[in-house]
């Protein structure tokens, strides 16, 4: 077996020019066509690197010095940016981030979907791309006997203790620091995931942007929480916005944050927030978008692409707690939402009731099974909206959508790669992607959300 011809060696020091950025924010330099991925480097920069790892088709390097800097380089405001794995792009100017995300979407659509002619709009960014997250989920551990809480270092399970986070709402920062202080006061041990010992596993904070209400969730290894009464009193004294204090118990050896059992220790079971004029009740485990400002932008674009006149029946697959469904219901004749998670459907029904919206029905189940049943009952949707998880739509769901023959499909995606794959399928089965709008839901990170407008080919020419 011939040894692959790799033009660099581990520990070699070389000067390189960076040509591109990977989807996770590493600079790309090429030596005789062999790509090296180097974190914190930007396209157009020249620098000295040390080769730290080589594989058959690519390698990794560490940036030692920048000899020629990109005009898009920015000074990260976060003191732990270099160590924390939460953000990838703070060293790139915000304008540069938006351009990079548009470029990435365009390239992925072409490479995976063969969609070279589709119009990709410039990424819609935020006026204030900091302090936008309404939810913190922070692992808790110990370092030399001292309780720590923060995000994991990149590609590791080592907690980087975090005094504050530049993309979290300030009140979420307050919650983490207050709970850490209280845990220290009462000798509450942080969790050791290797030994499966300790009491406090995660601190979860949820904030209603429009209501300013706070929920504090203490995720513990078991039911036991020493000094529970005092802890509740101290949290209430330190955090005047708190409306709900919740304990979730997760006794399993797992990376999953929440366990099955949740108990309200004090206050209400939910807090509330608004997106536009629609009110949402948010419980400890509800799925709710973490950037409410951009969620409104995203959903308004989805509504625009749905092009509703008031006479349509709309199916919302992967409807979650009904966020998009309720937006659609304001302009549609009827909306049918389907979601596999029973708790989410329970929340969706409550949210419809909360807003007095009656032209929605929600069903629990797999969309690819529920939708054919609806079709057999005579449901003929003019519009189907999908907002799947990162893995995209199952092919059986895409097939079901095509068989239902809606005039328009609106595809909301958090992963351009699976979006491109699914658009390719729809393109081959009677549909045309008219345009794709990237929306920056997660500034300073490598993630980008997209909304796609898809129409039946026979009516594509008349649009």
Residue 79 φ/ψ region, left for φ over 0, alpha for ψ in the -120 to 50 degree band, beta for the rest: alpha
Residue found under tokens 């999908």: 386
Q: What is the DSSP string of 181-193?
A: HHHHHTTPPBPBT
- Give the contacts of 307 (CB within 8 A, at least 6 positions apart): 383, 408
CA distances from 212 to 22, 172, 240, 243 (A): 37, 11, 10, 10
Contact 318, 411 (CB under 8 A): no
CA 104 distance to own-chain centroid? 17
Which residue in 347, 354, 324 sits closest to 336, CA to CA?
324
| CA pair distance 35, 29, nearest whole angstrom | 6
Q: Is 59 helix (H, G, I), strand (E, B) or coil?
A: strand
Helices (H), 45-186: 94-113, 170-185
Q: Is 329 helix (H, G, I), strand (E, B) or coil?
A: helix
Contact 253, 260 (CB under 8 A): no
Q: Which residues are catalytic?
A: 414
Contact 382, 406 (CB under 8 A): yes
| CA pair distance 383, 195, nearest whole angstrom | 51
Q: Is 262 exposed, middle or buried (CB count within 10 Å of its CB: 0-12, 13-18, 19+)?
A: middle
């Amino acid at each position: 077996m011939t040894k692959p011809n790799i033009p660099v060696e581990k520990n070699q020091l070389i000067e390189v020019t960076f040509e591109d950025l990977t989807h996770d924010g590493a600079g790309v330099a090429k030596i005789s066509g062999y790509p090296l991925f180097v974190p914190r480097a930007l396209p157009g920069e020249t620098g000295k690197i040390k080769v730290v790892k080589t594989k058959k088709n690519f390698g990794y390097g560490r940036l030692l010095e920048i000899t020629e800097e990109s005009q898009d380089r920015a000074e990260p405001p976060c003191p732990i940016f270099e160590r924390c794995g939460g953000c990838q792009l703070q060293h790139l100017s915000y304008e540069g981030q938006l351009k990079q995300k548009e470029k990435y979407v365009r390239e992925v659509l072409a490479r995976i979907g063969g969609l070279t002619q589709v119009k990709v709009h410039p990424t819609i960014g935020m006026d204030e791309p900091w302090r936008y997250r309404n939810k913190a989920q922070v692992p808790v551990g110990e370092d030399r006997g001292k309780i720590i809480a923060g995000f994991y270092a990149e590609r590791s399970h080592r907690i980087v203790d975090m005094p504050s986070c530049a993309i979290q709402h300030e009140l979420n920062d307050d919650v983490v620091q207050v709970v850490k202080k209280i845990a220290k006061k009462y000798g509450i041990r942080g969790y050791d995931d290797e030994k499966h010992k300790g009491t406090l596993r995660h601190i979860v904070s949820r904030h209603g942007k429009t209501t300013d209400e706070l929920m504090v969730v203490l995720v513990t290894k078991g039911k036991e929480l020493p000094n529970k009464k005092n802890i509740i009193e101290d949290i209430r004294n330190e955090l005047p916005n708190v409306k709900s204090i919740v304990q979730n118990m997760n006794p399993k050896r797992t990376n999953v944050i929440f366990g099955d059992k949740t108990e309200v220790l004090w206050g209400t079971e939910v807090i509330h927030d608004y997106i536009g004029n629609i009110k949402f009740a948010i419980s400890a485990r509800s799925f709710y978008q973490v950037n409410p400002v951009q969620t409104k932008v995203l959903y308004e674009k989805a509504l625009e692409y749905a092009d509703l006149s008031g006479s349509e029946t709309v199916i919302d697959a992967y409807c979650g707690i009904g966020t998009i469904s309720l937006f659609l219901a304001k302009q549609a004749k009827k909306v049918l939402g389907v979601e596999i998670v029973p708790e989410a459907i329970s929340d969706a029904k409550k949210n419809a009731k909360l807003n007095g919206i009656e032209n929605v029905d929600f069903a629990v189940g797999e969309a690819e099974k529920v939708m054919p049943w609806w079709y057999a009952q005579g449901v003929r949707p003019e519009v189907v909206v999908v907002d799947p998880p990162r893995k995209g739509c199952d092919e059986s769901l895409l097939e079901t959508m095509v068989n239902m023959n809606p005039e328009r499909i609106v595809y909301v995606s958090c992963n351009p790669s699976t979006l491109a794959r699914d658009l390719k399928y729809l393109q081959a089965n009677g549909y045309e992607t008219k345009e794709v709008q990237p929306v920056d839901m997660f500034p300073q990170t490598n993630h980008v959300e997209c909304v796609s407008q898809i129409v039946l080919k026979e009516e594509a020419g008349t649009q």
